[in-house]
Chain A
Amino acid sequence: DIVMTQTPLSSPVALGQPASISCRSSQSLVHSDGNTYLSWLHQRPGQPPRVLIYKISNRFSGVPDRFSGSGAGTDFTLKISRVEAEDVGVYYCMQATQFPRSFGQGTKLEI
């Protein structure tokens, strides 16, 4: 099974400042079809998660462009260029390259 490890687990950040979250997988996430199925999700308190980024760097519909994803193979990063108040919550990376699907432990973003 692929283990997803996020760092940091908690990230205090000031409004307007950048933030960065790392995610490392225990195996390469490159699928046999050539795609890398690494996505980033955001969950606000009391809400279901919502997808921000899919296939490493593609922003989902309606996601602000202050969110960006990068990486390859086993190392990936989510960056927020300027944190806004609505960005608080927990961020998860997730792999859909292999079964079972797996998530990182979550990174709590605090203002």
Chain B
Amino acid sequence: EVQLVESGGDLVQPGGSLRLSCAASGFTFSSYWMHWVRQAPGKGLVWVSLINSDGSSAYYADSVKGRFTISRDNAKNMLYLQMNSLRADDTAFYFCARAESGSYSSWGQGTLVTVSS
């Protein structure tokens, strides 16, 4: 069974940093592009970042470019999102998602990041 489990969400002060993790299992992790998508409480879905299967290419939404870094460790089946210079508008549930056929075939349950003083 495909599983994606996020962790690392927390309450952090503006300007702070956080690293999110996504543990993948049940599939050949190294074969898939992976994404981070976020959702502010009660709001819609917003794409954040993606990384290709071998980790050599990454893309970011303009709102996080220069502050967030996506990475992966295929040997450990792990996806990461390093978030720096956090702002109040980064407050959201962060989902990792497996890309397939131009959509997302699997999602994690999400981890909540709250940026507040």
Contact = CB atoms under 8 A, between A and B. Distances in A.
9 contacts: A37-B103, A41-B103, A48-B107, A49-B45, A49-B104, A51-B103, A92-B44, A94-B45, A100-B62
Given A39-B102, A39-B103, A96-B102, 7 more contacts: A35-B102, A54-B101, A58-B101, A90-B44, A96-B99, A100-B47, A100-B60
Interface residues of B, number: 22
Contacts of A106: 44-45
A50 B35 contact: no
A26 to B, nearest CB: 16
A38 B102 CA distance: 7
B71 to A, nearest CB: 18
Contacts of A104: 44
A54 B44 CA distance: 19
A17 B103 CA distance: 28
Interface of B: 35, 44-47, 50, 59-62, 95, 99-105, 107-110
A74 interface: no
Contacts of A99: 59
A1 B94 CA distance: 22
Contacts of B95: 48-49
Given A54-B101, A102-B47, A49 B59 contact: no
A70 interface: no
Nearest to A53: B103
